Amino acid sequence: MTHIGKYSFSKLFRPLCVSSRRTEQADIFSAMFSQQKKPSSNLAAFREHFAKSKHIVVLTGAGVSAESGVPTFRGAGGLWRKWNAPELASPLAFAENPSLVWEFYHYRREVMLSKEPNKGHKAIAECEKRLKKQGRRVVVITQNIDELHKRAGSENIIELHGSLFRVRCGKCGDVTVNKDSPICPALKGKGAPDPSAEDARIPVDQLPKCKKAGCGGLLRPDVVWFGEGLDPVVLQNADKELNECDLCLVVGTSSVVYPAAMFAPTVAERGVPVAEFNTEATPATSGFGFHFKGPAGENLPGALARHKSEPK
């Protein structure tokens, strides 16, 4: 297992969870960054690091997609009907009430089909395309499952938590891309987020089913649910990029969901410049070299624009 500084990514191979271990998290960050100074908001200084970087990793979370109008289901008022995401996004919830869980994900899929990438997504994609011609690498490691980075034009994407537009069969394990709207006839018009909406109570035999010959098993969204571990191959790929990067951007993430919460702090620990672009400070902010407060759609275009040293 790869080690960075005195921290090993083996510690990050734990089930996905919102950090209820706030004290543990605070202690880890405090130990890693006890000697760090207050992050800089000097864009010109950041741009000098950007101009010299050959391998950039951009870590993104729900905040960047929130600017496209995507619900986060996190924090005050972040409910679907009367539930928050952890209550529905779990193997237990799906086993107990697959109809309700599919209503929730059907709603999210339909919402995403009406949203478009914002200036933040586009700035990252444009930067990747431009720097590729210079022999430089930009990789997005995202916690988001909405595929907005892909739609914006990014190609080097590691989806830590899967995708809303892939499904996995619970019987044969087959994973396929699925952008049908609705995903099955029984879900048409269902999934209203209003707290007064009644559960559809769709029979299991009418929920999305595997189309592989001879199977017909019940499909589930190909996403990582709370209580599940991340795909080791996906983590291995992320590990490789994080170890090789010479600049890291943290965009729109609350730094409270493991293992992604520790990615940037661990990179910063080995002396790599880390710049956070967020609307507010996070538990990890004090350990980063840069912090730019505000919407990513406002700050990223200028931060990632062509530098004067780049060839035209």
Catalogue the active-site residues: 161
Longest dimension (CA), the chain: 61
d(CA 36, CA 288): 8
d(CA 223, CA 174): 13
DSSP 245-281: -SEEEEES--S-EETGGGHHHHHHHTT--EEEEESS-
d(CA 73, CA 71): 6
Would you call 79 exposed, middle or buried from its count of C-beta atoms within 10 A (0-12, 13-18, 19+)?
A: middle
Tokens standing for 130? 């431009």
Q: What is the dihedral of CA 151, 157, 163, 166, to 10 degrees?
A: 80
d(CA 224, CA 226): 7
**End-to-end distance of the chain based on CA atoms, in angstroms?**
41
Answer whether 64's CB lies under 8 Å from 251's CB: yes
d(CA 290, CA 284): 11
Would you call 4 exposed, middle or buried from its count of C-beta atoms within 10 A (0-12, 13-18, 19+)?
A: middle
Query: What is the Cα gyration radius of the chain?
Result: 20
Q: Is 30 helix (H, G, I), strand (E, B) or coil?
A: helix
| E strand map for the chain | 3-4, 7-8, 17-18, 55-60, 137-142, 157-159, 162-169, 175-177, 219-223, 247-251, 257-258, 274-278, 290-293
